[in-house]
Amino acid sequence: MSIFQQLFGGNATADLKELVATGAFLVDVRTPGEFAEDPVKGAVNIPLDALPYQLSAFEGRKNIIVFCRSGNRSGQAKAILERNGFANVVNGGTASYVRQFV
């Protein structure tokens, strides 16, 4: 069982692949500098510290995948979004992991 299956349950790879294929909103919560050095195609950069002020960017999104460098900040981002009423959020873990599906 992979670390992502242990953390997120089920077949995380298949789930993430399907979400990306169906147009999930990809949100990189790393700093602008990290994002510029290593962007993920199709992702927008909303740094974790700016996330609470950018909630309108998430409204009406069918599926949301948040990710970062290690999975820590994306876990925090997922929690922030869920506390604000977004139930369709997936912690994609790392940028390098999400990149393989875009």
Kindly state which CATH superfamily the domain 10-99 is placed in.
Answer: Rhodanese-like domain (3.40.250.10)
Q: Which one-letter DSSP state was computed for residue 26?
A: E
Question: Is 14's pLDDT higher than 80?
Answer: no
Phi-psi region of 23 (alpha: psi -120 to 50; beta: other; left: phi over 0): left
Which is more confident, 38 or 13?
38
Where are the domains positioned within the chain? 10-99
Token representation of residue 26: 């990809």
Catalytic annotation on 68? yes
The β-bridge partners of 65 are 26, 90
The β-bridge partners of 44 are 27
pLDDT tens-digit readout, 66-98: 999 999 999 999 999 999 999 999 999 999 999
How far is residue 74 from each of residues 45, 84, measured CA to CA in Å?
12, 15
Torsion of CA 63, 67, 71, 75, to 10 degrees: -50
Indicate the pTM of the whole model: 0.87
pLDDT tens-digit readout, 38-56: 999 999 999 999 999 999 9
**Residue 94 phi, psi dihedral angles, 5° rounding:** -105, 155
Query: Choosing from 46, 68, 81, 90, which is the catalytic residue?
Result: 68
